[in-house]
Structure 1
Amino acid sequence: MRRIGLLGGMSWHSSIEYYTKINSAVTERLGGHHSAQILLDSTDFADIRDMQVAEDWAGMDASLAATAQRLVHGGAEAVAIATNLMHKCAPAVEAAVDAPLIHIVDAIATMAKRQGHSTLAVLGTKWTMLDGFYTDRLEAQGIRTLVPDEETCLEVDQIIFDELTQGVFTDASRARYVEIMKDLKARGADAVALSCTEIGLLVPPESAPLPAIDSVDAHVAAIVEWMLAESKSSTSKIANQRLLADR
């Protein structure tokens, strides 16, 4: 099994989901007492949040690059940023380490295509929805994207940082997010990407008014596929060796 390095803590509420779901998937695939080989570097989100508010992207690039380097030096064979927004720093992370980055947007695009979706509504922080680093990457993979108007984007963003990243999940915010999803569906979205790792905790995919791709679930699927790729190869090799021995 390959060892993954998670850049976590942004927020810790969703990092718990990553840790739980990766381990659950590995146990389901391999059985018995198997669990995932994970290195987790969990930051103090207050430091990152201060830089977000100041839009100090150079500072965030440096912080996440240093985290990725610690993980790789500790034995991680690939890294994954356990948050959607901070993939804005993905190029800096990729440049800082000699290890692959498992990108959350690629994971969402893969799942959308597998499920037959061509137009994704994207809900996340204001930067995720409006800055292009996220939607442009989806568009480049043949997935059309829709986002709310700017005023609604700011409302979605405020709920994320005033509530969700602090572990607050209210019925009022849930109802508002569902209403926004309905509007995006009316505009032509055939699915919605829950492109903030805490949104799935507020509006589980089964509660959404249109098919929903939880970014955590998509990312975890890609991470586990990478982690077990060598395991599959080794299992096949062992099976072949046994077959030859039987002959």
Structure 2
Amino acid sequence: MTKPNTRPLPQPTIGVLGGMSNQATGEYYRLLNDGLNRRLGGWDNGEIVIVSVNFGNIEHFVRNDAWDEAHRYLSGKVDALERAGTDVILCVSNTLHRVVEPIMAGRATPFIHIAAPTGEAIRRAGLSRIGLLGTMPTMRSDYLRNWLTERYGIEVLVPPPADMDVVDRIIFDELVRRDLRDSSKAEYLRIIDGLRAQGAEGVILGCTEIFLLVQQADRPEFPMFNTTELHAAAVVEFALERMR
């Protein structure tokens, strides 16, 4: 794209509702800046505001199905992002979208939902039956599955209960601390292979830390949809569109 000659460079401010976890938040910051720099060139990257929550609070809300408490807590954090003058808001957690989407519904600030670029990528790939890995609420709840089914016609498969427990435990006990273990990677790949055996045509890495452990290169022939990268790329495109 052709950039204006004026400085400072006019560009939208990206608001990141982060801390869910700090590992995912750091990856979003890197992906947003790298993506913008690749397109803008030189030394240019993003103008980003991060409001980072206490993950201990998030863990409590998620473990106890305390979604009303989460709504009140995160509403205040979104208020802070809007007071900071953000032009678009994203949430770094698949799980917490069930709370943040209703918070954003009555606000003027654009919100880019993590499932939208994921659904679009699956549709472009011509797939319709997809496995899902994520936290226990993400896998058990109808929220994300219905979101993808209603908007993109995607059938979503989840692992059996015992494997859900494994996926969730590794996220909370290891990945949010960036504790990356070969044994856990092997477990994830076993579970992914099980979803494929159920008829899945690909798998959604539906927690924003999973790609730290498992990547497309681990199963080159089986499509993996990395929600973190897809989401960040969609926000980059939004920001660049606003600059044209």
TM-score by length of 2: 0.91
Counterparts of 1:1-247 in structure 2, within 5 Å, are: 1-95=11-105, 97-140=107-150, 141-208=152-219, 210-231=222-243, 233=244
Asked if the contact 2:16–2:51 (Cα under 8 Å) also holds between the matched residues in 1, the reply is: yes
Name the Cα RMSD after superposition.
1.3
CA contact (8 A) 1:62 1:92 kept: no
Give the 3 Å change call, closer, same or farther, for CA 152–39 of structure 1 in structure 2: same
Query: Distance in 2 between the 1:136 and 1:154 partners?
Result: 22
Contact 1:26 1:36 in 2 (8 A): yes
CA distance in 1, matches of 2:38, 2:68: 40
Give, in angstroms, the shift of residue 28 of structure 1: 0.4
Distance 1:226 1:6 in 2: 14
Q: Identical aligned pairs, as a percentage?
A: 34
> How far, CA to CA, are the matches of 1:53 and 1:147 in structure 2?
19
Q: Where do 4+ consecutive residues of structure 1 move more than 6 Å?
A: none
Q: Secondary structure at the match of 2:96?
A: helix
Q: Which runs of 5+ in 2 are unaligned?
A: 1-10
- The 8 Å contact of residues 62 and 137 in structure 2, kept in 1 or not, is answered as no
**For residue 4 of structure 2, what is the aligned residue in structure 1?**
none
> In the comparison of the two structures, how many residue pairs are matched?
232
**Matched AA of 1:45:** F
Q: Is the 8 A contact 2:203 2:224 kept in 1?
A: yes
Mapped contact 1:78–1:102 kept (Cα < 8 A): yes
CA deviations on 1:77-124 (whole Å, 9 max, x unpaired) are 111001111111123321463212100011110111122222211000
**Greater share of helix:** 1
Note if contact 1:164-1:198 (Cα within 8 Å) is conserved in structure 2.
yes
**Aligned residue number for residue 6 of structure 2:** none
Aligned partner of residue 156 in structure 1, secondary structure = helix
Letter of the structure 2 residue corresponding to residue 159 of structure 1: I
State the distance in 1 between where 2:83 and 2:219 align: 41
Question: Which structure has the larger Rg?
Answer: 1
* Alignment deviations for residues 128-158 of structure 1 (CA, whole Å, 9 cap, x no partner): 0111111110111211111111221122111
Which secondary structure state, in structure 1, belongs to the residue aligned with residue 45 of structure 2? coil
